[in-house]
Amino acid sequence: MRLMKARAVRLAWLALLPLLWSGHAAALPAFAQVRDDWRSADVVVLDRHGDVVGRVRDDFRARRGDWVTLAQTSPALRTAIVLSEDKRFYVHSGVDWQGVAAAAWANLWNTRTRGASTLTMQLAGLLGDDLRRPGAAAQGRSFTQKVGQAAGAAMLERSWSKDQILEAYLNLVPFRGELVGLSAMSQVLFGKYPEGLDARESALAVALVRAPNAPAVQVARRACGILREMRLPRQCEGLEGFAQLALLRTGPVAQRNAAALAPAQPLASLPAPHLARRLVSDARAQLAPDALMPARIVSTLDGRLQRMAAASLDRHLRELAGRHVEDGAVVVIDNASGDVLAYVGSSGELSSAAQVDHAAALRQAGSTLKPFLYAQALEERRLTAASLLDDRPVNLPVGGGLYVPQNYDHRYAGWVSTRAALAASLNVPAVRTLVMVTPHRFHKRLVALGLPLTEAGDYYGYSLALGSADVSLLALTNAYRALASGGRYAPPRLREGAAGVAPVAVMQPAASYVIGDILADRHARARTFGLDSPLTTRFWTAVKTGTSKDMRDNWCIGWSQRYTVGVWVGNASGAAMRDVSGVSGAAPVWHEVMEALHRAQGSRAPEMPAGVQRVAVDFDDGLEPAREEVFLAGTAITRVSVGKPAAAASTAPAIANPANGTVFALDPDMPPASQRVWFQAEGVAGQSARAVSWRMDGKTLGRGAEVAWLPWPGRHQVELLDAAGKVVDRIGIEVRGASVRAPSTPARR
């Protein structure tokens, strides 16, 4: 009887199939086309070796993962889907005629039963635009669509293998909410890849196929039935609670929270989420409005180094438990190419703000700007590495009163050489050096090095010497790379295939070499850091630490022959750390990363460039031990004493105020006599210059360290002359507004 029913139904269907064959089945694509056209909802970011280091959601219409092959699918899920949806999948030819007959007989007697749709027919419905359900999932397909499904299934069975049909079905079928395909479902609901699904997870997943939006109780009941068919009834224990927990990840609250839709373990374990977001954002900004995002972006990262740097940061921050520090970041750059090899943007689970990219966040620079300041002073022949600087309290007049810089330990060393002042990171000598260089000129140098200083030099004032400006770890590390590259600056490279930018000479190679020689001298920094500290490596490196006000930011940045490594430690909230300095906070991570980079190959000191000479130097009164010192050509001296400069060229005074390029605006409501501009000259160590004179546009303006001038509109050139009448410094200024009468004689203080 059953055989007769099946045969009759089969004949009836076969009579209808030719009528719809050309309208539906002929439009179905080949398996290879379906697989190749599949696009994940995420943009995948790879490292330079092709390993996945990050994923970023780009398509929010549906959540789709990578295409999953049948070999990457757990056997339990393959068994569950066949038992639940199509027991005769491996024996029928697309349409299960016995199932069709049973469904027709049941419908005749108004008995509810499972439909006769096979996996192949369901796949045909997913592939054919005109075979999909007309609306909500609860709406059934029309009779014509069902016949079209059968026709499509027959075609698929002719050209596709059973494994291809099952593989495509598992990748295309909707599971729940926005989740489409096995990859997205398994990672979001269970936090694992499809190959790791166990029997209970597989049963829950398959239960969703027939009723994607059913409540947890109903899903658990159906999953239990599937487990019984798999002869695993004991797995039904606690299944309802397990289903509720899994389905919570796709509920309304989770849908409002993008992070909740991310897989619990696989995506969280990807080592470069912050760089991945940055690269995807950059790529999207460069696209034409109608262009598709690339499915994959290849970064410059080395995935193994990225994981090692992240592990080192995590381990060290755990060791600092109890000192109120939870965040950190690490950047590693290849000196020659500018490729960013590691970009750790956060301490991960240790952080209360793990999504913040601390490698790109702006934080106060602390003492890390001092090498660039001293390099500029060397270039301007204001200092040499042997010049003596006064490390004693100093009061500097500023617009709001007095600026009184202090050393980190509140102790003062008296007269110290530039080498000792920089290596030991003394604050007062750095401020005295900035007085010579001027905040305006130093600001221009920092901007040329790619540091994102948003205000003018005068805004920061003398505190710029101590790092009052906000910088990012990536930009600061790349600026140090310029020191490692002989003073040549080029932006870092984050993406493979990106066009490189030709480096620009920002600092003199000779000055960069001297700064590197100082920062590599562990004896010179012993005053502050001791001889044995994390700053000391078994190979050549140059390194500088920095700590911002109230221990809010902690830096350690340095370079070797091949790499520049930067580490930041602090708190995303800006809260102060407790007893964490550069040498105890960031330096241990820097040391560990440097050691890993040079495990197979060491680092040699750079060769001395042209324009540098090494000379034996003695210091009077035993101020510092005799040593061989490096000088820029023409500035060398063999004996240094207090009151005697270490190089004749360094004694030249300079214009301290106003800065070059300053624009003055005259106020018509103020009396002309009250609108005076004061010109100030400083000597080598920040003291008032003596025996100097001034010229304005080639005409004598006055004599002395300070001269007042009654301005008039126009552009003017101001020159400072030494006692011999030689021009030692010049600036350009501009005055805008109504003209006033020029004074007959300059005023003096």
Dihedral (CA of 148, 151, 153, 155) sign? negative
**Which residue spans within 181-326 are E strands per DSSP?**
296-298
Q: 300: which 2 tokens?
A: 């410059």
101's tokens: 């007959």
Residue (of 731, 701, 694) closest to 716 by Cα position = 731
As a whole number of angstroms, the distance between CA 406 and CA 300 comes to 42
Candidates 116, 120, 91; CA nearest to 10 is 116
- Angle at Cα 468 formed by Cα 466 and Cα 473, nearest 5°? 95
Q: Which of 47, 24, 188 is nearest to 94 (CA)?
A: 24
Whole-prediction pTM: 0.79
- 432 Cβ contact list (under 8 Å, min separation 6): 389, 390, 394, 685, 686
C-beta atoms surrounding 418 within 10 Å: 27
Alpha carbons 222 and 430: distance in angstroms, whole number: 74
- Tell me phi and psi for residue 473, to 5 degrees: -60, -40
Q: Over the stretch 434-476, which tens digit does the pLDDT of each residue have?
A: 988 989 999 999 999 999 998 888 788 889 999 999 999 999 9
Tokens of 649: 């060229």
Closest CA relative to residue 84, chosen from 246, 224, 192, 237:
224
**Domains, the chain, ranges and CATH?**
2-40+60-261 (1.10.3810.10), 340-597 (3.40.710.10), 654-748 (2.60.40)
CB-based contact 317:350 (threshold 8 Å): yes
d(CA 415, CA 390) in angstroms, rounded, equals: 5
Q: Which pLDDT belongs to residue 697?
A: 94
Terminal Cα distance for the chain, rounded = 121
Would you call 313 helix, strand, or coil by DSSP? Answer: helix
Which residues, given as ranges, of the chain have pLDDT below 50?
Answer: 5, 9, 13, 15, 19-25, 105, 108-114, 135-138, 253-268, 646-650, 685, 740-749
Is residue 545 within 8 A of residue 576, CB to CB? The reply is no
